[in-house]
Structure 1
Amino acid sequence: MRVRDIMQAPIVSLDVNSTLRDAAFVFRHQQTQGASIVDSRGDLAGVFTHEELLQALANGASMSDTISCHAKPIFCTIRPDEDVSGIDWQGCNFLAVLDEDSVVGGMDTTTVIDSIYGAQHAERMPYQDFFHGLPAPMFLVDSHWTIGWHNVSADMLCSLDRTQLCGRTLANVLRDAGFEIEVDPVDQESIYMAWKESVRLLPMIWQVHADDSPFKFMVLLQNVQDQVIRSRELRDLRDLSKELHAIIDSSFDGFFITDGEGRALRINRAYERITGIRTDEVLGKTMGELVAAGYYNESVTLRVLQSKTTETIIQKIKNTKTIVVTGTPVMDHDGNIWRVVTNVRDVTELRNLQAELEHLSRLHTQYKKELDSLRRNVDHKPNIIIRSKRMKEVYAQATRLAKVDSTVLLLGDSGVGKEVVAALLHENSSRRDQPFVKVSCAAIPEHLLESELFGYTPGAFTGALRAGKEGLFEEADKGTIFLDEIGEMPLGLQAKMLRVLQDKTFARIGGSAPITVDVRIITATNRNLEEMVKQKLFRRDLYYRLNVVPVYIPPLRERQEAIFDFIYHFLGIFNQKHGLSKQIETDALDVLINTDWPGNVRQLENTVERLVVMAHGDLITKQDALRGIRGLDPSECPGFSSPTEGRSLRDILDETECNVLSRALQAHQSTRAMARALGIDQSTVVRKMKRHGLSTL
């Protein structure tokens, strides 16, 4: 009997976009085990079989998937003139019949069995005895899928006895047993698939050919859940393998992997880049062969196989490049070496990278310094005039000191700009966003200075606030405190100040609990502290603590070239402040530049403001400048004896006060002595001298 005599012709066809549900419908109703797949042009694109359908569903596919996703690219064929009895099925249940490169039909195992053994073959099978003990549920059903017989496994699956199963459709029995089912859209009792919890059943259906049998189909329910799990595990393993290969290939370091006998199994792209050795040169060869061939001067893998521990060597590649290689053994369950993984790094490349990083780091530091300098210098309202060489040195020193937390002592005459330099130190430090607290030790009475600096507890003394008071050191926490006129601090308070400098701790007046602060201390004085130490007016230990980094700010007479810039700087400020537009003539500039300024910048600033306010016209003349400078001597000021000549009482009183303070300053050497002589507080003397531009020499 030839194939052409019994083959299914023409072969059933499925469109390439058909779903698994469509294929199941065709297989069920056409009683076939396979169908050809045709594309949009009607050309053969492959073959899809009942076996592939079951495999797809076992792997967890959806019935809505297209068959093209699950059809094998290669299918088995036979010729139409082959003898049926000699067919090599090649493990398949369906073969395509190929004649001159065209599919002319199909052949499945059911057709062959029916043709060879006849229709009575199935009738003669003692199915009740043969299938009764099968581990898989088996049913015999009629054309309406009504159960007429089932085996013991079916009872166990449905948890029902024989009387409850027979006479009911298979679909209803499975629903009552808690299964969800997928049915044939044409025949609602015909099952494609059933599932619940960890059970996934696929029906395998054979037609019963006995003419007088009440049964039409034999249905075997196969649980494919284990296959689904194995398929997922296999897919996960494939994904993991793909991920590991990607990681190895994307590594910057080179990897060389051998088996337990030192045979090369894999190298990554980085290894090829570092060594210049290609994969096809070494793969499958032992490390001994590669060393003998001159690829390497020695092998770290061979060392690892001998020592069974991690080894590191300096390796020469083809007698040119030098690399560092580290071999690590990977053991199996029996303690034998299964793999040797070698990590490779090009020492030259690493050294070049390190040198480049160091160069970039130096450039970064240099650029940062230059940018910081530019930010400080590009200021539309500068607080410090830097013209003289001496002040440029002071500025450079201050910007360097701003980067550290050392205690700084600013030295110089009154009015030279010590407070401006202190602010510069703070604004360029890492504490710039924290408080900057300024304290004049001379402006606060002695009996109040301690409470102002360190605070006090509730009820510490008569007149104390009920809630107590936080001191200026606490206000400056995390920031900077500037103690001006530190030479005026009383001896009794200097001991407490010493402890703050040493330990950054103190106690409030009336309290004993220590308070710790993180504060940078900048001090300033116009007095000779070293001479005061000799006279026992200042503590020696405190002096040494303060004098860590002294910065001397030269007086204005030593930087006369800066006076011109100061004049125009202050002229702009006071014009804007008073809403004026005064200018100054050249002769007036000469007078101011050639004047000796004992009060330094502060005295010059007050004088320029006086000229802006008092000059009669929009141009400050030489006479205005002379009167402004001689304002310290009222006898030379026009109108002094006649307040009615455009002079207010307030102006005359101010000039008189300035004259009194000037003469007291000449007679006494300190603000405290002046205060005693004038019968006022020392803080009042300091405040008024500052307003009039006077300073102690």
Structure 2
Amino acid sequence: MTSNICQIGSEKMAADLSSVQELSKELEAIISSSYDGMFITDGKGIVLRVNEAYERITGIQAREILGRNMRHLISEGYYDESVTLLVIEKRTTITINQIVKGGHKILVTGNPIFDEQGELFRVVTNVRDITELSDLQNELIQTQEQTLKYKAELFHLRALQIQDKDLIYRSSKMMQIIELAIKVSGVDSTVLIHGESGTGKEVIAKCIHKYGKGADRPFIQINCAAIPEQLLESELFGYEEGAFTGAKKEGKVGLFELAQNGTLFLDEIGDLPLLLQIKLLRAIQEKSFMRVGGTKIISINARIIAATHRNLIQMIKDMTFREDLYYRLAVVPIYLPPLRERKEDIPLLIMHFMKKFNQRFQYNKKIASPVICKLADYWWPGNVRELENVIERMIVMAPHEEITMDLLPESILHRTFLPKQGTKLKDAVAQTEVYVLNQAYKEYGCWQKVSDVLGMNRATIFRKVAKYGIGKK
């Protein structure tokens, strides 16, 4: 009987042992087949086993580290730090980036395993190679940087390739402006173009529209200075039937509605009355408005481009222009320099206007080189518009096929000096004095004669000559 019991017990132990061995083999197969690396230590940090994936990922062979303590492996340079030691210290799951011998970057997650008494007896670490991921991330960053570079070059090349008949320029200043206009054309941000009268603000606005919304979309323009204040609101926003005395029976569609899905160009925005500035601000912010005399809210989807020759910052200080409207309009400010600050554009503009008016009047007139030089030297207070008018006048008035010096307007032929616009009074006086003294000395070649002609005593003349460092006594 006793022998039978012993036999049964032995058989059961053999079965249990066989089951354990099967489980061990199964666990070994799972660990070995894992694509991720497996790194196992005891509760003291002694390396018990690693799988083949770990060797492949790290380049460290099992024979180098099995049976060794993690602290010793760190000191020998196998690892920069150990997640195993951190898990032993914190007794919780921890993930870190680790650099192993040979420079491989790996992502390791250490998991603590506790026995029935709550004692830590294993740390199982899952290992993934992030060297490739890091390389891909660096490549992505480089690609993004390269994309930005190509994008900038594309904007530049697009600016160079523009064949718009109204965009005539050679100067670097205008090149930068055209590049900015093309760049901003791709978004719906409001644009404020500012510069002196006649610099071509409307041309830039049309450029933004053309290369953004497209030439097939509406481009609606209004000159805020040209329409009486009492009519301006109804022009912009339209009105309903019976809104005011004299209103059309069927009402009227405003310019905001006409510009739907296109561009509304508000020229001379600095002349907009304060009360209308409030309504315009609300329409831009809320992208909706109501007609005069109406109750229905109308949604708008139109890009707003504004332009002015006025100093809006000073107007804000003078409380004649709303600060909140200014910042709403000037999301992208574009400054157009006067023609005198981009003289290299003048010869091109001259030839452009010559061709334009020759075609219009069916002429074949040419312009003499000295005339071009004289025109290029002029300071053009009216900017491009004034230059265009001068060319048209000379073509019309020229009795022969060539435009010569005698056809130049008196103001250009005998140039009158004026300080640059915006110059402080004290500086303007000094610039004028230098100009007058230089011109007089060139003509008479003697300071005594200059003093007689200008009606100043010699001491004053010599003092100013010394002050400004001009001429010789």
Q: TM-score range by the shorter chain?
A: 0.5 to 0.7
Aligned residues: CA RMSD: 5.2
The corresponding residue for 2:106 is 323
The corresponding residue for 1:375 is 158
Is residue 525 from structure 1 mapped to residue 308 from structure 2 by the alignment? yes
Picking from 343, 346, 359, the partner of 2:127 is 343
CA contact (8 A) 2:224 2:268 kept: yes
The corresponding residue for 1:620 is 402
In the TM superposition, residue 567 of structure 1 has moved relative to its aligned partner by 0.5
Listed one character per residue, the Cα deviations across residues 243-295 of structure 1 (whole Å, up to 9, x for unaligned) are xx7xx76xxxx44498xxx9869644xx55531247xx68xx99758979979
Picking from 198, 223, 235, the partner of 1:440 is 223
SS in 1 for 2:225: coil
Q: Distance in 2 between matches of 1:542 and 1:309?
A: 55
Listed one character per residue, the Cα deviations across residues 652-673 of structure 1 (whole Å, up to 9, x for unaligned) are xxxxxxxxxxxxxxxxxxxxxx
Q: Distance in 2 between matches of 1:534 and 1:312?
A: 59
Listed one character per residue, the Cα deviations across residues 501-556 of structure 1 (whole Å, up to 9, x for unaligned) are 444442111212333445443322234556767887x3444674467466543433
Picking from 478, 495, 502, the partner of 2:278 is 495
In the TM superposition, residue 309 of structure 1 has moved relative to its aligned partner by 7.6
CA contact (8 A) 1:441 1:483 kept: yes
Aligned letter for 1:454? F
Picking from 248, 252, 258, the partner of 1:464 is 248
The corresponding residue for 2:24 is none
Aligned letter for 1:620? E
Q: Distance in 2 between matches of 1:274 and 1:498?
A: 62
Q: Distance in 2 between matches of 1:299 and 1:543?
A: 60
SS in 2 for 1:456: coil
Q: Distance in 2 between matches of 1:528 and 1:564?
A: 29
Work out which structure has the larger RCO, using CA pairs closer than 8 Å and 6 or more positions apart in sequence: 2
CA contact (8 A) 1:457 1:508 kept: yes
Q: Distance in 1 between matches of 2:301 and 2:69?
A: 66
CA contact (8 A) 2:159 2:179 kept: no
Is residue 312 from structure 1 mapped to residue 95 from structure 2 by the alignment? yes
SS in 1 for 2:296: coil
Aligned letter for 1:621? I
Is residue 566 from structure 1 mapped to residue 349 from structure 2 by the alignment? yes
CA contact (8 A) 2:155 2:179 kept: no
Report the structure number with the largest CA radius of gyration: 1
Return closer, same or farther for 1:326/1:465 CA change in 2, 3 Å cut-off. farther
In the TM superposition, residue 415 of structure 1 has moved relative to its aligned partner by 1.5
Aligned letter for 2:386? Q
Listed one character per residue, the Cα deviations across residues 415-439 of structure 1 (whole Å, up to 9, x for unaligned) are 1211123334555669999654322
The corresponding residue for 1:362 is 145
Return closer, same or farther for 1:465/1:605 CA change in 2, 3 Å cut-off. farther
Return closer, same or farther for 1:458/1:322 CA change in 2, 3 Å cut-off. same
CA contact (8 A) 1:394 1:551 kept: yes
CA contact (8 A) 1:498 1:545 kept: no
SS in 1 for 2:304: strand
In the TM superposition, residue 566 of structure 1 has moved relative to its aligned partner by 0.7
Aligned letter for 2:198? G
In the TM superposition, residue 485 of structure 1 has moved relative to its aligned partner by 1.8
Is residue 411 from structure 1 mapped to residue 231 from structure 2 by the alignment? no
SS in 2 for 1:524: strand
In the TM superposition, residue 369 of structure 1 has moved relative to its aligned partner by 0.6
Return closer, same or farther for 1:491/1:300 CA change in 2, 3 Å cut-off. closer
Tell me which protein shows more strand as a share of its residues: 1
Tell me which protein shows more helix as a share of its residues: 2
TM-score by length of 2: 0.58
Q: Distance in 1 between matches of 2:377 and 2:387?
A: 12
In the TM superposition, 1:131-280 aligns within 5 A as: 254-256=36-38, 267-268=52-53, 273-277=56-60
Return closer, same or farther for 1:517/1:264 CA change in 2, 3 Å cut-off. farther
Listed one character per residue, the Cα deviations across residues 587-606 of structure 1 (whole Å, up to 9, x for unaligned) are 44345445564432123224
Q: Distance in 2 between matches of 1:491 and 1:368?
A: 41
Return closer, same or farther for 1:495/1:272 CA change in 2, 3 Å cut-off. same
The corresponding residue for 1:508 is 291
Listed one character per residue, the Cα deviations across residues 558-590 of structure 1 (whole Å, up to 9, x for unaligned) are 544432121112233445566665432224434
Return closer, same or farther for 1:534/1:393 CA change in 2, 3 Å cut-off. same
Q: Distance in 2 between matches of 1:319 and 1:390?
A: 53
Is residue 473 from structure 1 mapped to residue 256 from structure 2 by the alignment? yes
Return closer, same or farther for 1:256/1:388 CA change in 2, 3 Å cut-off. same
Listed one character per residue, the Cα deviations across residues 342-389 of structure 1 (whole Å, up to 9, x for unaligned) are 232246x55554444333322221221122111112223464344456
Listed one character per residue, the Cα deviations across residues 459-483 of structure 1 (whole Å, up to 9, x for unaligned) are 54544363x5443223445654321
TM-score by length of 1: 0.41
SS in 1 for 2:248: coil
Unaligned 5+ residue runs, structure 1? 1-240, 331-339, 631-697
In the TM superposition, residue 500 of structure 1 has moved relative to its aligned partner by 2.8
CA contact (8 A) 2:93 2:112 kept: yes
In the TM superposition, residue 441 of structure 1 has moved relative to its aligned partner by 1.9
Q: Distance in 2 between matches of 1:517 and 1:371?
A: 32
Give aligned-pair identity as a percent. 44
The corresponding residue for 1:452 is 235
Aligned length: 366
Return closer, same or farther for 1:471/1:264 CA change in 2, 3 Å cut-off. farther
CA contact (8 A) 2:277 2:325 kept: no
Q: Distance in 2 between matches of 1:544 and 1:394?
A: 20
Q: Distance in 2 between matches of 1:623 and 1:482?
A: 39
Is residue 603 from structure 1 mapped to residue 353 from structure 2 by the alignment? no
Q: Distance in 2 between matches of 1:431 and 1:483?
A: 18
Q: Distance in 2 between matches of 1:525 and 1:318?
A: 66
Unaligned 5+ residue runs, structure 2? 1-28, 41-46, 114-123, 411-473
Return closer, same or farther for 1:275/1:446 CA change in 2, 3 Å cut-off. same
CA contact (8 A) 2:159 2:178 kept: no
Return closer, same or farther for 1:394/1:312 CA change in 2, 3 Å cut-off. closer
Q: Distance in 2 between matches of 1:292 and 1:394?
A: 63
In the TM superposition, 1:684-695 aligns within 5 A as: none
Q: Distance in 1 between matches of 2:101 and 2:272?
A: 79
CA contact (8 A) 1:408 1:551 kept: yes
CA contact (8 A) 1:398 1:421 kept: yes
The corresponding residue for 2:437 is none
Return closer, same or farther for 1:508/1:256 CA change in 2, 3 Å cut-off. same
